[in-house]
Structure 1
């Protein structure tokens, strides 16, 4: 064999070397790390991406990136990928960008190179006008890299904010997320969590114990159940990663790629003119009787399918994404089955943010109204019901997407105004027969207006009953608001679906001009 050929044979094949390097990044530091990840009922970063994206569509960026840190034992630990997998692929054929922490490498902790990979894919998502999904499973800032790790988080936060309302951002919590790292998910549009495996908190149980003396577990402090039902940080709660990632795919199918597009429409086999006779049985005629408004939504929307957002938090209002005649709509509905459907601090915040999301991404709004008012009480007043209720009012007043409201039974006082009444800009205000729209219920109104007369009467109950009847017949009859142009039409409940479909079809080309301004200053 010639000397040159012999030397060539001794050199490694470049393609084999490249494949080995990429395999090293994919497989993690050692098989034991992968085994430990699986023992925790957690998937690896590549396995998660494989479930999220269409099969074979993932293109990874910077898989061979390595950190440059020195000292504190970092010199001999320079794995390829640096603990995060980033790139793009497709979901239902549409481009989606994604990054996933690899807990097997430095516990998924963020360092300089790690952060720069995330910055890159976030910049690409914004430039391409495509959604960004983060699969979070990391231990926070990499202590060995000091302030450069903190600066890396700052770059993520800035990009989260710049992309807000431009491209959908979804955070999927699949492990721990502590300290400043928790602010990135809080800046995104949706947060998914998995029971028992994901946690979010600013200070962990050890710090809480040292500072306050309180004893609490990781899940008790910031687990999925806490954030889905108490804090409102998590929008969706799931039992396992597989179902969670499947739901993320479903959510993406309901969202546009960016704020310059409409959400994808699809053909609909559910007849547009389908009568909704069941609504007569679902919604009781008596204003005080309870029912589940989700049954109303299911009766109206295509195939009864809707995705409820924040289902476990502030249950007295329901916010859902659904389709009408194949087109995506956002539904906001008072929930009589919880707190009689009153508006309070939490429900006002919940609905306000959902409305802002729909408005940002060109999703029309349908508001189903059955509200007795705002929740009275010292606690609500002292915790700022005025300020928080104003958030909901601001969100509706500021929204320029097509808006249709429907009063099903009752709408009293300020809550009537706030729930997308005609006076705050609803394009069409509808009502069912039997609706009661008034400053307050007839009983309360009569007790105020005729207080002295009732007190002076020999038969107070008879006088009160008579005055209640008069107030209801003169100021609360179903056509009072329609006669004054505050309701565009009183419709047959059995025609609700067809009326809503026709209204939204008419409004699809709606264009609204806003005053020139940098941005508004909403109540906080």
Structure 2
């Protein structure tokens, strides 16, 4: 009976994936084959100290591997929101979880045939944001909080973040601009300098695909110095996982608006909704740096003599550590005053509201899983 139930349920979830938004809220134990039900849904949420998810429980783990571990350590809310990334957020209790679900649903369309929801708002679309003039530090290596860019730009500073405790070097979530739901994707410079790694690529790639499936425009804030280097990343498949984010942006046909706030280096720049991936509107702040890599790294490769490299570094900075070369080549559409960012995005969203773009016919793509 259980097997028949799971077969029917899992088949239904799979068939409706991408047709209607699917959300799982785990309020108690969820073990064995039952875990594949929430795994197939778009978002999974847990309740702290009372919900657990695992394929095999602590007793089985101990008998097979002789490893002693508690339910919480194996598959609790803390584990799945911070380590595995299986759950998208954890709440203090059942009531908070249900209240937050009502809020989340307000951002989502009912199906893939509906447009991104739009509500009345008292926040003017042409509002200027003076705080953005000083949010970027003068020193390019100094971190800042990308939420100080996101919150003042969106309607009423209301941001419903997805996976806030997992892959913190990238920020994703839902907001509204001029009343319309948008998906926000942004590098987080205060964590790992905003570098993309395996977890960040998976997190952002999945979110972008959800937004595209349900007609939610995507606004991307870019400050990325590259992919995180190291043997751990390479050996665990950063090439394939990084391609997931690239694929998601390239495939997406919803309106895509990109703001480069500071660094946009190399392949990581390409992946972050660049013009090369069919970005509809790409802008740069005056503080933007669009280049293959940073000045120090570039001159150390070109010039083997340390003294010569040091002498050439300033010239490289003057030539490339600004948005003008990218603008002259058409990689960005305009260099905008940061204070006008909200006004520009809202205007573009209005223009792109009726955007129609299709991909070539295919049964389905063989994306880089």
Structure-2-length-normalised TM-score: 0.98
**Residue 522 (structure 1) aligned with residue 367 (structure 2):** yes
Aligned to 1:256: 109
TM-score under structure 1 length normalisation: 0.70
Alignment of 1:332-351 (within 5 A): 332-351=185-204
> How far off its partner does 1:272 sit?
1.2
Report the alpha carbon displacement of residue 168 of structure 1 after superposing the two structures with TM: 0.6
CA distance in 2, matches of 1:509, 1:285: 39
Residues in 1 aligned to 2:211 and 2:341: alpha-carbon distance in whole angstroms? 22
What is aligned with 1:472?
Answer: 317
Deviation at 1:206, TM superposition (A): 0.4
More deviation in 484-493 or 469-478? 469-478
1:51-78: CA deviations, max 9, x gaps?
xxxxxxxxxxxxxxxxxxxxxxxxxxxx
1:213 aligns with 2:66: yes
Post-superposition shift, 1:282? Answer: 2.3
Q: Hey, what does 1:420 align to over in structure 2? A: 273
- Matched with 1:265 is 118
Alpha-carbon shift at residue 191 of structure 1 (Å) = 0.6
CA distance, structure 2, for counterparts of residue 321 and residue 352 of structure 1: 15
C-alpha contact 1:368 1:408 (8 A) present in aligned 2:
yes
Return the offset for 1:474: 2.3
Matched residue SS, 2:128: coil
Q: Per-residue deviation at 1:465?
A: 3.2
Q: How far apart are residue 151 of structure 1 and its match?
A: 2.0
CA distance in 2, matches of 1:239, 1:196: 8
Corresponding residue SS for 2:24: strand
Corresponding residue of 2:288? 435
Matching of residues 38-437 of structure 1 within 5 Å = 148-437=1-290
Q: Which residues of structure 1 form unaligned runs of 5+? A: 1-147
Q: Per-residue deviation at 1:263?
A: 2.8
* Distance of 1:157 and 1:287 partners within structure 2: 49
- Displaced runs of 4+ in structure 1, greater than 3 A? none
* Pick aligned residue for 2:344 from 486, 493, 499: 499
**Counterpart of 1:47?**
none
What residue ranges of structure 2 are gaps of 5+ in the alignment? none
Say if 1:369 and 1:410, in contact at 8 Å, map to a contact too: yes
Deviation at 1:240, TM superposition (A): 0.7
Counterpart of 1:446? Answer: 299
* CA distances 1:176-220 after superposition (whole Å, capped 9, x unpaired): 000000001000011110000000000000000000011111111
Larger radius of gyration: 1
Distance (Å, rounded) in 1 between the aligned partners of 2:17 and 2:313: 50
Separation of aligned partners in 1, 2:119 and 2:311: 54
1:287 to partner: Cα distance:
1.7
Using the alignment, how far apart are the partners of 1:490 and 1:500 within structure 2? 13
C-alpha separation between the residues in 1 aligned to 2:104 and 2:174? 9
Structure-2 separation of matches of 1:287 and 1:371: 11
- 8 Å Cα contact 1:302-1:326 kept in structure 2: yes
**CA RMSD across the alignment:** 0.9
Counterpart Cα distance in 1 of 2:117 and 2:282: 26
Pairs within 5 Å for 1:16-55: none
Partners of 1:283 and 1:244 lie apart in 2 by 35
**What is the CA deviation profile of residues 275-297 of structure 1, one whole-angstrom value per residue up to 9, with x for unaligned ones?**
11111222213221111111211
Distance 2:116 2:329 in 1: 36
CA distance in 1, matches of 2:328, 2:240: 33
Q: CA deviation at 1:519?
A: 0.9
User: Secondary structure at 1:263's aligned position in 2?
Assistant: coil
Higher relative contact order (CA 8 A, sep 6+): 2
Number of aligned residue pairs: 369
Counterpart contact for 2:202–2:245, Cα < 8 Å: yes
Taking the aligned partners of 1:321 and 1:391, their CA distance within structure 2 comes to 20
> d(CA) in 2 for partners of 1:326 and 1:189?
23
Distance 1:282 1:434 in 2: 11
